[in-house]
Homo-oligomer: A and B are copies of this chain.
Amino acid sequence: MRVTCHECALRACGLFKSVTAEELNSINAIKRDHLSAPAGAEIVRVGDDSPELYTLYSGWAFRFKTLPDGRRQILNFLLPGDLLGLQAAMFDAALHGIEALTEVQLCVLPRRQIWALFGQMPGLAFDVTWLGAREEGFVDENLTSVGRRSAVERVAALIVALYKRAEVLGLVADATFAFPLTQQHIADALGLSLVHTNKTLARLRRMGMFTRANGSLTLTNPRVLERIAQHFDDELPRRPLI
């Protein structure tokens, strides 16, 4: 039972720009496989030297780096519609790992053919570049959290950001969405220790910001949570003029 690009659920969300039928056929022609991996699977291993390009069709994953002594930094989280392995495909070697958070389904796009398609389908080239820029934006956002926000602000910002991304994908109902991260994942994404992450989460929970039940998270006070997160989307930021 092969899923073709024509019936791709992701297109239905309006994630991609509209494409012509011809373009869709081209993509579908090179799509090599539609495979799935269990939670915890290593999708891209650091140092991988013949990486393919993937589209995350369903499930969650994350990109990460590991220091020689084992300290791990999660760079960002990947949700349906995201491109996996763009850097790896560009550099012929992966500089970071990618691991599945949940069971995932992936579309495999042989990268050599992708570059070839750039010539025939400028729109595709644009989309790939766009997705890359968008991902960099997420990393920027997370770097700002880790570098300049307090622990509470970081946790709040992460939850709000993931909530918003899930919302766009139609994964939110009743302010509730599936939240597959363990506290260790949150700690590694935010540059915090596990213990402090736990205490910070407990604090926000006691403040009535959210609740968790069987793998789902519910925002019980989105407005305040967003304010705690210190989001800059609201107003144009300025430096103090002393």
Chain A residues in contact with chain B, CB under 8 A? 46-47, 63, 65-73, 75, 86-87, 90-91, 95-96, 115, 118-119, 122, 125-126, 128-130, 132-137, 139-144, 146-149, 188-191, 230-232, 234-240
Contacts and interface: CB of A to CB of B under 8 A. Distances in A.
A136 B47 contact: no
A132 B125 contact: no
A125 B129 contact: yes
Nearest to A139: B139
Given A75-B143, A91-B133, A95-B137, 18 more contacts: A46-B232, A63-B140, A67-B148, A68-B237, A71-B148, A87-B136, A87-B137, A90-B129, A90-B133, A95-B140, A96-B140, A115-B122, A118-B118, A118-B122, A119-B122, A129-B129, A136-B139, A142-B143
Contact of A143 (B70, B139, B238): B139
B135 A238 contact: no
A74 B200 CA distance: 26
Contacts of A68: 230-232, 234-235, 237
B238 A133 contact: no
A93 to B, nearest CB: 11
B67 A231 contact: yes
Contacts of A125: 118, 122, 125-126, 129
16 contacts: A46-B232, A46-B236, A67-B237, A69-B240, A70-B237, A72-B148, A73-B143, A73-B148, A75-B144, A90-B129, A91-B137, A125-B126, A132-B133, A132-B136, A146-B147, A146-B191
